[in-house]
Amino acid sequence: MPIKFILTGSQEAECKQAIALLENVKSSAVLADKGYDTNELREWLKRQGIKAVIPPKSNRKEEIECNYWHYKERHAVECLFGKLKHYRRIAMRYVKKAINYMGMLSLPRHFYG
């Protein structure tokens, strides 16, 4: 189940919200896809003592190691998004107001969390 989420514009990069989402979350590692491969996020994670398990983008100049064995655990996040997409109302965002949409995203957490 999702712990936290932030609604953004459809054209905004997700990685810009990563640090805000990770603040006050206790974790030993962060598993994220290539879209989160930014120096700012990696440095923030290092300062927090959190292991970054993020594959490097193909255009990255410096080579960065990624523990792909640990990265495979990310399937749980992909399964969550797959389940949410089964609900057409959530996947297509038919609700106009952000507060109502956030309420729909919070319901599973209240039932299963």
Residue 29: pLDDT band (50, 70, 90) is very high
Taking the model in full, what pTM does it have? Answer: 0.71
Residues β-bridged to residue 30: 52
pLDDT tens-place string over residues 71-87: 888 888 788 778 777 77
Residue 89: pLDDT band (50, 70, 90) is low
Sign of CA dihedral 63, 68, 71, 75: positive
Q: Which amino acid is at 40?
A: E
Alpha-carbon torsion angle 84, 87, 90, 92, nearest 10: 120
